[in-house]
Protein backbone atom coordinates (compact mmCIF):
# COMPACT_ATOMS: atom_id res chain seq x y z
CA UNK A 1 0.00 0.00 0.00
CA UNK A 2 1.29 3.46 -0.91
CA UNK A 3 2.62 5.58 1.97
CA UNK A 4 0.13 8.39 2.71
CA UNK A 5 1.62 11.37 4.55
CA UNK A 6 -1.80 12.57 5.66
CA UNK A 7 -2.48 9.31 7.48
CA UNK A 8 1.04 8.71 8.78
CA UNK A 9 1.47 12.25 10.09
CA UNK A 10 -2.02 13.08 11.29
CA UNK A 11 -0.70 15.67 13.73
CA UNK A 12 0.33 17.82 10.75
CA UNK A 13 -2.41 17.06 8.21
CA UNK A 14 -5.51 15.96 10.11
CA UNK A 15 -5.85 18.13 13.23
CA UNK A 16 -9.09 18.44 15.11
CA UNK A 17 -11.66 21.16 14.51
CA UNK A 18 -10.49 22.88 17.65
CA UNK A 19 -7.12 24.64 17.93
CA UNK A 20 -3.98 22.90 19.11
CA UNK A 21 -0.25 23.54 19.40
CA UNK A 22 2.18 21.69 17.13
CA UNK A 23 5.94 21.77 16.54
CA UNK A 24 6.55 21.30 12.81
CA UNK A 25 9.99 19.97 11.75
CA UNK A 26 11.98 21.02 8.71
CA UNK A 27 10.56 19.68 5.43
CA UNK A 28 11.50 19.88 1.76
CA UNK A 29 8.98 21.06 -0.83
CA UNK A 30 8.43 21.73 -4.48
CA UNK A 31 7.62 25.46 -4.52
CA UNK A 32 6.43 28.23 -6.83
CA UNK A 33 6.24 31.88 -5.78
CA UNK A 34 3.71 34.38 -7.07
CA UNK A 35 1.30 37.17 -6.28
CA UNK A 36 -2.25 38.29 -6.92
CA UNK A 37 -5.80 37.07 -6.36
CA UNK A 38 -5.84 33.24 -6.48
CA UNK A 39 -9.35 33.36 -7.97
CA UNK A 40 -8.22 35.38 -10.98
CA UNK A 41 -8.36 33.08 -14.01
CA UNK A 42 -5.66 35.13 -15.71
CA UNK A 43 -3.46 35.41 -12.63
CA UNK A 44 -0.33 33.65 -11.44
CA UNK A 45 -1.83 31.20 -8.96
CA UNK A 46 -3.48 28.57 -11.19
CA UNK A 47 -0.48 28.16 -13.53
CA UNK A 48 1.74 27.81 -10.44
CA UNK A 49 -0.35 24.88 -9.23
CA UNK A 50 -0.01 23.20 -12.61
CA UNK A 51 3.77 23.50 -12.40
CA UNK A 52 3.84 22.00 -8.91
CA UNK A 53 1.84 18.94 -9.89
CA UNK A 54 3.89 18.53 -13.07
CA UNK A 55 7.03 18.05 -10.98
CA UNK A 56 5.28 16.10 -8.21
CA UNK A 57 3.99 13.42 -10.56
CA UNK A 58 7.24 13.27 -12.53
CA UNK A 59 8.97 12.33 -9.27
CA UNK A 60 6.23 9.89 -8.22
CA UNK A 61 6.31 8.10 -11.58
CA UNK A 62 10.11 8.00 -11.78
CA UNK A 63 9.90 4.37 -10.64
CA UNK A 64 8.76 3.47 -14.16
CA UNK A 65 11.65 5.19 -15.93
CA UNK A 66 15.43 5.11 -16.17
CA UNK A 67 16.03 7.55 -13.31
CA UNK A 68 15.84 5.41 -10.19
CA UNK A 69 15.80 7.48 -7.00
CA UNK A 70 17.79 5.98 -4.14
CA UNK A 71 15.49 4.99 -1.27
CA UNK A 72 12.30 5.43 -3.32
CA UNK A 73 9.08 3.98 -1.94
CA UNK A 74 5.57 4.26 -3.37
CA UNK A 75 3.58 7.12 -1.88
CA UNK A 76 0.51 9.28 -2.28
CA UNK A 77 1.41 12.79 -3.48
CA UNK A 78 0.93 15.02 -0.40
CA UNK A 79 -1.71 17.77 -0.46
CA UNK A 80 -1.27 21.22 -1.91
CA UNK A 81 -0.20 23.85 0.63
CA UNK A 82 0.29 27.59 0.57
CA UNK A 83 2.16 30.23 2.54
CA UNK A 84 0.42 33.61 2.21
CA UNK A 85 1.20 37.20 3.14
CA UNK A 86 0.49 40.81 2.21
CA UNK A 87 2.96 43.65 2.64
CA UNK A 88 2.21 45.80 5.68
CA UNK A 89 -0.27 43.30 7.18
CA UNK A 90 0.41 40.90 10.05
CA UNK A 91 -1.62 37.96 8.86
CA UNK A 92 -3.96 38.20 5.89
CA UNK A 93 -6.78 40.52 4.84
CA UNK A 94 -9.33 38.50 2.87
CA UNK A 95 -10.88 41.68 1.45
CA UNK A 96 -7.64 42.52 -0.37
CA UNK A 97 -6.93 39.34 -2.31
CA UNK A 98 -5.30 41.28 -5.14
CA UNK A 99 -2.46 42.10 -2.70
CA UNK A 100 -1.70 38.47 -1.85
CA UNK A 101 1.79 37.11 -2.24
CA UNK A 102 2.27 33.36 -1.97
CA UNK A 103 4.58 30.41 -1.97
CA UNK A 104 2.60 27.41 -3.15
CA UNK A 105 4.15 24.08 -2.19
CA UNK A 106 3.83 20.30 -2.25
CA UNK A 107 5.85 18.30 0.26
CA UNK A 108 8.63 16.10 -1.06
CA UNK A 109 9.40 12.67 0.40
CA UNK A 110 12.64 12.71 2.38
CA UNK A 111 14.37 10.48 -0.15
CA UNK A 112 14.13 13.17 -2.85
CA UNK A 113 17.40 15.13 -3.05
CA UNK A 114 17.93 18.46 -4.76
CA UNK A 115 19.62 16.58 -7.59
CA UNK A 116 16.52 14.38 -7.99
CA UNK A 117 14.37 17.51 -8.04
CA UNK A 118 16.55 19.07 -10.74
CA UNK A 119 16.27 15.89 -12.80
CA UNK A 120 12.47 16.01 -12.44
CA UNK A 121 12.33 19.66 -13.55
CA UNK A 122 14.39 18.87 -16.63
CA UNK A 123 12.37 15.72 -17.38
CA UNK A 124 9.03 17.55 -17.00
CA UNK A 125 10.28 20.35 -19.25
CA UNK A 126 11.30 17.81 -21.91
CA UNK A 127 8.11 15.77 -21.78
CA UNK A 128 5.54 18.51 -21.31
CA UNK A 129 7.21 21.21 -23.46
CA UNK A 130 6.58 23.64 -20.61
CA UNK A 131 8.89 26.07 -18.82
CA UNK A 132 9.42 24.82 -15.26
CA UNK A 133 12.13 27.33 -14.37
CA UNK A 134 9.86 29.03 -11.79
CA UNK A 135 9.78 25.87 -9.67
CA UNK A 136 12.28 25.58 -6.82
CA UNK A 137 13.50 23.11 -4.20
CA UNK A 138 12.38 24.77 -0.97
CA UNK A 139 13.35 23.82 2.59
CA UNK A 140 11.30 25.29 5.41
CA UNK A 141 11.38 24.80 9.17
CA UNK A 142 8.04 25.99 10.48
CA UNK A 143 8.59 25.33 14.16
CA UNK A 144 6.08 26.06 16.90
CA UNK A 145 2.58 26.85 15.61
CA UNK A 146 -1.09 26.97 16.52
CA UNK A 147 -3.29 25.12 14.02
CA UNK A 148 -6.87 24.03 13.44
CA UNK A 149 -8.98 22.24 10.87
CA UNK A 150 -11.21 24.79 9.15
CA UNK A 151 -14.35 23.39 7.55
CA UNK A 152 -16.06 25.83 5.22
CA UNK A 153 -15.37 28.51 2.64
CA UNK A 154 -11.96 30.15 2.46
CA UNK A 155 -13.57 33.55 3.09
CA UNK A 156 -14.86 32.22 6.43
CA UNK A 157 -11.37 31.43 7.71
CA UNK A 158 -11.11 34.53 9.96
CA UNK A 159 -13.53 32.98 12.48
CA UNK A 160 -11.31 29.91 12.81
CA UNK A 161 -8.19 32.08 13.00
CA UNK A 162 -9.79 34.02 15.86
CA UNK A 163 -10.31 30.75 17.78
CA UNK A 164 -6.69 29.80 17.11
CA UNK A 165 -5.46 33.09 18.51
CA UNK A 166 -7.66 32.75 21.60
CA UNK A 167 -6.23 29.30 22.26
CA UNK A 168 -2.69 30.54 21.62
CA UNK A 169 -3.09 33.30 24.21
CA UNK A 170 -4.70 30.98 26.74
CA UNK A 171 -1.73 28.61 26.43
CA UNK A 172 0.80 31.40 27.04
CA UNK A 173 1.87 32.08 23.46
CA UNK A 174 1.71 35.05 21.12
CA UNK A 175 1.59 35.38 17.35
CA UNK A 176 4.94 35.32 15.58
CA UNK A 177 4.04 36.12 11.98
CA UNK A 178 6.84 38.00 10.23
CA UNK A 179 8.65 38.04 6.90
CA UNK A 180 10.05 34.55 7.60
CA UNK A 181 7.14 32.90 9.44
CA UNK A 182 3.90 33.02 7.47
CA UNK A 183 0.18 32.25 7.43
CA UNK A 184 -0.02 28.65 6.23
CA UNK A 185 -2.86 26.68 4.65
CA UNK A 186 -3.03 22.99 3.72
CA UNK A 187 -5.79 22.10 1.25
CA UNK A 188 -7.36 18.71 1.92
CA UNK A 189 -10.29 19.22 -0.48
CA UNK A 190 -10.46 19.82 -4.21
CA UNK A 191 -12.20 23.19 -4.47
CA UNK A 192 -13.32 22.32 -8.01
CA UNK A 193 -15.36 19.36 -6.75
CA UNK A 194 -16.31 20.28 -3.18
CA UNK A 195 -19.10 22.57 -1.97
CA UNK A 196 -17.64 25.66 -0.24
CA UNK A 197 -19.24 24.80 3.10
CA UNK A 198 -17.55 21.36 3.09
CA UNK A 199 -13.99 22.41 2.20
CA UNK A 200 -11.38 21.13 4.64
CA UNK A 201 -8.33 23.34 5.15
CA UNK A 202 -5.66 23.13 7.82
CA UNK A 203 -4.87 26.65 9.08
CA UNK A 204 -1.56 27.23 10.84
CA UNK A 205 0.06 30.31 12.39
CA UNK A 206 3.56 30.58 13.87
CA UNK A 207 3.75 31.38 17.56
CA UNK A 208 6.30 32.01 20.31
CA UNK A 209 6.30 32.12 24.09
CA UNK A 210 4.46 35.25 25.21
CA UNK A 211 6.61 38.00 26.70
CA UNK A 212 5.79 38.67 30.36
CA UNK A 213 5.06 42.38 30.56
CA UNK A 214 3.73 42.25 34.13
CA UNK A 215 6.37 44.06 36.19
CA UNK A 216 4.66 43.68 39.58
- Residue-wise pLDDT tens digits, 8-50: 999 999 999 999 999 999 999 999 999 999 999 999 999 999 9
Strands (DSSP E) found in 69-195: 75-76, 80-85, 101-107, 135-151, 173-175, 183-187
pLDDT at 214: 52
Whole-angstrom Cα distance, residue 118 to residue 113? Answer: 9
Look up the pTM and report it. Answer: 0.95
Packing angle, helices 114-128 and 45-60, rounded to 10: 110
pLDDT of residue 150: 98
Distance of CA 124 to the CA centre of its chain: 22
Mean pLDDT by 10 residues, the chain (216 residues): 96 97 98 97 96 98 94 98 94 93 98 98 96 98 98 96 98 96 97 96 98 56
Per-residue model confidence (pLDDT) at position 211: 86
CA–CA separation, 142 and 140 (whole Å):
6
Q: What is the pLDDT of residue 215?
A: 42
pLDDT for position 216: 38
Average pLDDT, the chain: 95
Amino acid sequence: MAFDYKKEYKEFYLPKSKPGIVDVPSMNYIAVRGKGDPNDDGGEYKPAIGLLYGIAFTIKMSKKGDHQIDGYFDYVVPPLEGFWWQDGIRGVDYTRKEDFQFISVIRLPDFVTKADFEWAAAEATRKKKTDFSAVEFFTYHEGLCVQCMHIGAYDDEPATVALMHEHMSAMGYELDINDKRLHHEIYLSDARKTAPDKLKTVLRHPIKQAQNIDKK
